[in-house]
Amino acid sequence: MAYYQNTIQDLYSGHFKNSYGVEGMCVTGRSDYKKIIDVSDDMKNHVLEEVKKSYYKYNGMSGGNEREDEAYSRGLNEYYKTLDREDRLSAAWTLGQLSQELSGAVISAIREKIPGWQAGQQIPSDILDEIFSSKAIEDIMTRKADGKEAAKETKEDQLVLSSEAPEAEPDNEKRSGKVAVNEGKRARQIASAKTPAQIQIVISLLKKDVSDCESGLSNDMCDENEVKKAKALLQKAMERLSEVSGKEQEQEEESQSSFLINMLM
């Protein structure tokens, strides 16, 4: 799948775009976007269908289907393009919070009906039918925006599911119950890093990924392949550090801008 690459004109003009070609998605130095705004019903349903899939198809786990993940993310970004530039980050924040709230409600409802349920364990479809048709889910889907700002900061660039949604409760359980490293995102960050300092930022993130995957393995929230994937990416970043160390950096402004954009993809 081809991703958008910023041109020199984009970089020098300040019109930076993310990997889907959406301008206005840079969060560096900002927190004002973290507020709930009105979003379309179609996009709310887009999020709901993704949450449903993670439970009906994958029993509360991510599933790891890259084509499905790409279709979901691309659908979100195509919607952001239709909004005013200043509303795009807030829309992304709003839909992320919706995903988090829906998954939290589903997890709680499942455990009420199946005490001790853990992600990956089979969920009878009739139970899911009842949960997703419940008033609790309806209330979440029909709630109007109130401009509410976030009560606390969220962790950027943490381990995320393919949808890159915020964490669901409890704190050690991701949105659909599985710890997973976003391989495509980290690979783009490694490739876009042009200085030792930039590489060190990615290495720090990958060390956290490895730690979280190892913890997830011990808690049956991922498998050994996920740990190996995180370690392989860390090794790649270390090799990249060796490549750039000691070299003179050309077009510093361009490389810094490109790197910051890829940190958000």
| Residuewise pLDDT in 10s, the chain (265 residues) | 567 777 777 666 667 778 888 888 877 777 888 999 999 999 999 999 999 998 999 888 765 567 888 888 899 999 999 999 999 999 999 999 999 899 999 999 999 999 999 888 899 999 999 999 999 999 999 988 765 554 444 433 333 322 333 333 333 334 345 678 888 888 888 887 777 777 778 887 888 888 777 776 766 777 888 888 888 998 888 887 777 765 544 444 444 445 544 544 4
Structure tokens belonging to residue 75:
């659908």
Q: Which of 224, 229, 186 is nearest to 205 (CA)?
A: 186
Would you report the helix, strand and coil content of the chain in percent, each value rounded to 5?
Answer: 55, 0, 40
Q: Report the b/e string of 146-168 with b at 16+ CB within 10 A.
A: eeeeeeeeeeebebbbbbbbbbb
Is the pTM for the entire model greater than 0.75? Answer: no
Q: Is the dihedral of CA 97, 99, 105, 110 positive or negative?
A: negative
Domain boundaries, the chain: 29-151, 179-265
